[in-house]
Amino acid sequence: MGKNSTGKGLAAIYRQEIIQDITLFTSQSAAIFYDKLFTHLDFTLPRAATGRRGFPKEAMVCAFIVMKCEGFSQVTDLADYLDNNRLIAHYCGFNIMEPLPSYWTYDRFLKRLNNEDLKEVMAQQVKKLYDLGVVDASFIGLDSTPVAANTKQNNPKSFATDKFKPENHPKSDPDCALGVHSASNQHNERRYEYYWGYKNHVLVDCISGLPLYELTTPANVVDSTVVEEILAATNSTLPLQECTFLGDKGYDVKAVYDLVKDIYNGEAVIPLNKRNTKNPDKLPAGRLLCSAGLAMHKDGKTFDNGRVRQKFCCPLRSSKSGCCPCGHKNWNNGKNRRGCTKYLTLPSDYRLFIDRESLPFKRTYALRTECERYYSRFKASGQERLWVRNANSAANLNSLAHISALAVALAAVLSGAHSYRSAKLLQRSA
């Protein structure tokens, strides 16, 4: 046996002795939890063609999973935690005989990592859970949550004037955008707050309460515009045919209903958004009332920009001796078609005919509360406000938070634990 072989053998023995020693200084429940978590987490990430190898990408991802499971909002807390818990760093895949990653190493990793690689890891996790019968797409809910950028404008203690004007874009994060979100959960109040940052859109299985797909966008992106992309990406991992899609009023758009119905042969369960739905006064039979309060006559239909509009005319238009009771300005205009005219846009989508007061609708829509519960767990992982300052890092942090939730679920299911929704509950049972 050569000197090199002997040296490697002694190093391995020495390393094992160190691991046994540091085990005494690590919480046993935490050690068992992360051992179980990473044992069932199997993935690989693409390697760079050239350049210094550095820390393993898989170990870096596992470190961020630890960060999310522990609920750390700052990467400095993660670095300190792994320095003080070398056994957990060992479970992540780091060589604990050498220095662990610094703050700047974690920061560079997030900037350079391709988010599509993390999406592939998440897709593999979802596929495993689907094969195990834990998740499916029978009832899916889509929602978004604000993710505040790391800028001084978002600091509530900042009294800078016009900090939420579009022209005052934060210099610290050029990728973020100005967004608005509801600041109240009460239905009878309308309170909104502006912020600079991003949105994280998540498609959730409303039965298991686990994420199926996620997407990070600037904060100014309208929720309904990303539905097609999210459903298409999810459908490549697990079938969405005949699904029931649940969303809030922000998704009450004809295109969303048509997409779910025509492409996936599913059903959309969405509350009616009453904005821009006010029509002129009309009788129960659907006839409009003129300015004088008389029932108007139908006078054909018009078609423009994909809309169908019913035209109504003055009921006295054909009268030879009649006179307009209110003296409408168009009554004596010298034309054959005298008097006022009005138009009523006719519904061309089935969303307006859904009985949203029915018990089946209310019971089905109640399943959407799983989206709210999942977002509560998502925010508890430290994702409500970012410490990074660019779009790719923000997207990667969001993806890692969802990957950690799925990793906990996989570990719980494969180890026979009772709960798969909470890292803390799984750790307590370890």
Q: Identify the burial level of 416 via C-beta atoms within 10 angstroms of its C-beta, where 0-12 means exposed, 13-18 middle and 19 or more buried.
A: exposed
How many CB atoms sit inside 10 A of residue 140's CB?
A: 31
Q: Identify the burial level of 81 via C-beta atoms within 10 angstroms of its C-beta, where 0-12 means exposed, 13-18 middle and 19 or more buried.
A: middle
CB 386 within 8 A of CB 394: yes
Residue 14 scores a pLDDT above 60: no
Residue 393 scores a pLDDT above 50: yes
Model pLDDT for residues 231-262, shown as the tens digit of each residue: 999 999 999 999 999 999 999 998 999 999 99
Tell me the C-alpha distance between 199 and 223, whole Å: 9
Q: Characterize the bridge pairing of strands 177-182 and 211-218.
A: unpaired
CB 298 within 8 A of CB 312: yes
The residue written with tokens 């997407």 in the block is 215
Extract long-range pairs of 96-102: CB within 8 Å, 24+ residues apart: 96/15, 96/18, 96/19, 96/22, 97/11, 97/15, 97/18, 101/55, 101/60, 101/63
103 confidence band (pLDDT: 50, 70, 90): very high
**3-state SS string over 41-58?**
CCCCCCCCCCCCCCCCHH
The residue written with tokens 């709210």 in the block is 372
Tell me the C-alpha distance between 245 and 257, whole Å: 9
Tell me the C-alpha distance between 240 and 30, whole Å: 37
Tell me the C-alpha distance between 120 and 116, whole Å: 6
**CATH level 3 topology of 116-272+361-389:** Nucleotidyltransferase; domain 5 (3.30.420)
**What's the pLDDT score for residue 231?**
97
345 phi and psi angles, rounded to 5 deg = -70, 125
Model pLDDT for residues 20-62, shown as the tens digit of each residue: 544 444 566 788 888 888 988 888 888 755 445 679 999 999 9
**What's the pLDDT score for residue 161?**
78
Which region among 8-22, 75-89, 107-121, 271-285 has the lowest average model confidence (pLDDT)?
8-22
Question: Can you tell me the mean pLDDT for 124-130?
Answer: 95
Cα–Cα distance list, 255 to 20, 45, 260, 263, 268 (Å): 60, 36, 9, 11, 11
**What's the pLDDT score for residue 18?**
46
8 confidence band (pLDDT: 50, 70, 90): low
273 confidence band (pLDDT: 50, 70, 90): confident
Tell me the C-alpha distance between 16 and 249, whole Å: 57
pLDDT above 70 covers what percent of the chain? 81
Higher pLDDT, 192 or 204: 204
Residue 306 scores a pLDDT above 60: yes
Residue 115 scores a pLDDT above 70: yes
Question: Can you tell me the mean pLDDT for 347-376?
Answer: 85
Residue 361 scores a pLDDT above 80: yes
**What's the pLDDT score for residue 51?**
45
**What's the pLDDT score for residue 160?**
76
pLDDT above 90 covers what percent of the chain? 46
The domain spans of the chain are 3-46+53-113, 116-272+361-389, 274-347
